[in-house]
Amino acid sequence: MIFSKGQRLTPLEMLAQLVAFDTESSKSNLPLIAFVESYLSSWDVPFIRVPNTTGDKAALYATIGPQDRGGIVLSGHTDVVPVTGQAWTSDPFTLRIENGRAYGRGAVDMKAFDALALALVPDFLAANLKTPINIMLSYDEETTCLGVVDTIRRMGHDLPVPKAVIIGEPTLLEVVDAHKSVVTFVTTVHGFEAHSSKPYLGASAVMAAAELMSELNRIADEMMERGDKSGRFDPPYTTVHVGVVAGGTARNIMAKECTFHWEFRGLPDLDPQEIPARLDRFANEVVLKRMNRFGEFGRIDTQLEVAVPGLAPEPGSTAEALALKLVGKNRTQTVPFGTEAGHFQAAGIPTVVCGPGSINQAHQPDEYITLEQLDAGEAFMRRLAAFCTQN
């Protein structure tokens, strides 16, 4: 789409444009970024593009208002989860309006928030802001949450440090000040093949992996017993889970290799090194000793896949106070899913999660956001503009 100077789009029109880009995490988001750049250029809004190392994806950071000070960042991701195998009743990349809902992949998670921020650019410009409003669009949130990191590193260098960040994940416009971490691993056990009737000639990777998974089960039980001192999370404890297991070639062959994928979702106060360190200690002190009692047959490798930091409460922070004011609430909430918020918080930037729509509609066939929630999100943006005009 080629924009004429000062061309406006309604939030719904902008959402339709964004949904039309197939930005599944395995694909490039550059066509969407180029579209947004064209739109911002038509309004003379300055922006920077922050590409990834391979150059096939990019984040975008735009500033409306003063360029010499930190502002309020509206942060949203551009990538979406796959549609393959899902039973959609219409094209997932064509926005469909029906029965008070807007259907499409990413409609609620989270292109609606992106669309609102972009559609309100003319209003932000007209407001003569004292505090700038920054729009940040990222990539790879659905896979690694690392698409914000390179831009965050520039804050305090060639970008001003923001006063506050609002991550627009769907929370029904409740203000979320905490969520768990999401840390995933792949553990590969290497054994040595031998006839199962003579186990002293080898070591079974499957049997060793079973011991490791049993230890993760014990750790999971302990985490459940430890519980959540804040009483705010559902479930009220750190969870540990093994999702995929593969290994062995035949019943009567001692398995050469076994791999399992596992994760923990940690409460904000959990030391992220505790669980992997405990598994590593058990692997060395128990499992490897058993594997190698007849010879140097076995080894165990655990690789970190993804580490999404949790978001810890910061009562009274700039971000919390602002978001609560904008939504007219006096209490914060937690959510069970991970976001990019922890990366901002780790950089010392006050951050909350607050966006239109419900996470219950995300990642499903016929994903949707209600038009009522879209309207509520627009009102939220307008209140933000009024705040940034006065402060």
- Length of the chain counted residue by residue: 391
For Cα atoms 61, 63, 65, give the angle at the middle one, nearest 5 degrees: 170
- The answer to whether residue 303 sits within a structural domain is yes
- The answer to whether residue 274 sits within a structural domain is yes
Residues 255 and 375 occupy one common structural domain = no
pLDDT of residue 6: 79
Q: Read off the pLDDT of residues 86-107 as tens digits, 9 standing for 90 and up.
A: 999 999 999 999 999 999 999 9
- The answer to whether residue 6 sits within a structural domain is no
Domain boundary among 286, 308, 330: 308
Q: Which two tokens stand for residue 97?
A: 């309006």
Residues 149 and 79 occupy one common structural domain = yes
Domain boundary among 263, 292, 308: 308
Residues 151 and 283 occupy one common structural domain = no
Residue 5 has pLDDT above 90, yes or no: no
- The answer to whether residue 302 sits within a structural domain is yes
Residues 329 and 361 occupy one common structural domain = yes
Residue 2 has pLDDT above 80, yes or no: no
Per-residue pLDDT band at 391 (split at 50, 70, 90): confident
**311-333 core/surface letters (b: 16 or more CB in 10 A; e: else):** bbbbeebbbbebbbebbeeeebb
Q: Read off the pLDDT of residues 351-379 as tens digits, 9 standing for 90 and up.
A: 999 999 999 999 999 999 999 999 999 99
Q: What are phi and psi of 268, to 5 degrees?
A: -55, -25
Residues 250 and 330 occupy one common structural domain = no
Residue 1 has pLDDT above 80, yes or no: no
- The answer to whether residue 221 sits within a structural domain is yes
Whether 372 is catalytic is: no
Catalytic residue among 24, 140, 141, 193: 141
Per-residue pLDDT band at 4 (split at 50, 70, 90): confident
pLDDT of residue 63: 98
Residues 295 and 327 occupy one common structural domain = no
Residues 302 and 317 occupy one common structural domain = no
Residue 3 has pLDDT above 90, yes or no: no
CATH code of 81's domain: 3.40.630.10
Residues 186 and 284 occupy one common structural domain = yes
Per-residue pLDDT band at 197 (split at 50, 70, 90): very high
Q: Read off the pLDDT of residues 33-76 as tens digits, 9 standing for 90 and up.
A: 999 999 999 999 999 999 999 999 999 999 999 999 999 999 99
Specify the number of domains making up the chain.
2
State percent of the chain over pLDDT 70: 100
How much is the average pLDDT of 119-135?
Answer: 97
Residues 289 and 315 occupy one common structural domain = no
Answer whether 174's CB lies under 8 Å from 327's CB: yes
CATH code of 238's domain: 3.30.70.360
Listed residue (260, 83, 133) closest to 185, CA to CA: 260
List 304's β-bridge partners, or say none: 185
- The answer to whether residue 246 sits within a structural domain is yes
Q: Which domain holds residue 189?
A: 182-308
Whether 79 is catalytic is: yes
State percent of the chain over pLDDT 90: 98
Catalytic residue among 79, 228, 320, 366: 79
- The answer to whether residue 322 sits within a structural domain is yes
Q: Rounded distance, CA 97 to CA 212, Å?
A: 50
Strands, E, within 288-328: which ranges? 299-308
Residues 19 and 114 occupy one common structural domain = yes
Domain boundary among 280, 308, 336: 308
235 upstream amide cis, omega within 30 of 0: yes
Mean per-residue pLDDT of the chain = 97
pLDDT of residue 31: 98
How much is the average pLDDT of 154-180?
Answer: 97
Per-residue pLDDT band at 340 (split at 50, 70, 90): very high
Answer whether 134's CB lies under 8 Å from 162's CB: yes
- The answer to whether residue 3 sits within a structural domain is no
Q: Read off the pLDDT of residues 215-272 as tens digits, 9 standing for 90 and up.
A: 999 999 999 999 999 999 999 999 999 999 999 999 999 999 999 999 999 999 999 9
Residues 315 and 173 occupy one common structural domain = yes
Residues 119 and 23 occupy one common structural domain = yes
